[in-house]
C-alpha cells in the first residue's frame, strides 16, 4: 500500500501489512511503514518489499494506542452518551489552565 498522508494507511496495518508513506505522517514509524522522501527511494523500497517483514508487535501496540488515545468511541452521525462523554473529556483536557504551557 502506498499512501500520501491518507487515512487509508490504517487498512493494511489492520492486516499486518507494511505501508509506504510518501511525505510525513504520524504513522511514518520504522516497523509500521516505510516513510520516503523521494521517488528514487520508492523504487528501491518497492524492489525490497518481498524481503520486508512488518513488526507485528509494534503494529498491535500502535493500533492499541490509536484505539485508546486517539479514537473517540461511537459515531458523530449517531452520538451516544459514551461518545459525548469522550469528546467532553478531551476538550476539557485541552482547555484546562493546568495544560496551558
Residues of the chain above pLDDT 70, percent: 95
Question: 68 pLDDT band (50/70/90 cuts)?
Answer: confident
Domain spans of the chain, in order of start: 1-70, 71-101
CA dihedral 76, 80, 86, 89 (to 10 degrees): 110
Q: What single-letter DSSP state applies at residue 37?
A: S
What are residue 35's phi and psi, to 5 degrees?
-90, 120
Give me the pLDDT at residue 100, please: 54
16-29 residue pLDDT tens: 888 888 877 777 88
pLDDT score for 85: 92
The average confidence (pLDDT) of the chain is 84
pTM of the model: 0.68
Amino acid at each position: 500500500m502506498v499512501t500520501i498522508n491518507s487515512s487509508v494507511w490504517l487498512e493494511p496495518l489492520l492486516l499486518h501489512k507494511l505501508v509506504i508513506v510518501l511525505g510525513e505522517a504520524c504513522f511514518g514509524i520504522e516497523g509500521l511503514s516505510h516513510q520516503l522522501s523521494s521517488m528514487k527511494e520508492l523504487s528501491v523500497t518497492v524492489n525490497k518489499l518481498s524481503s520486508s517483514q512488518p513488526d507485528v508487535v509494534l503494529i498491535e501496540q500502535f493500533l492499541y494506542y490509536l484505539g485508546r488515545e486517539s479514537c473517540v468511541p461511537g459515531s458523530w452521525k449517531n452520538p451516544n452518551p459514551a461518545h459525548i462523554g469522550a469528546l467532553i473529556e478531551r476538550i476539557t483536557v485541552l482547555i484546562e489552565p493546568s495544560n496551558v504551557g
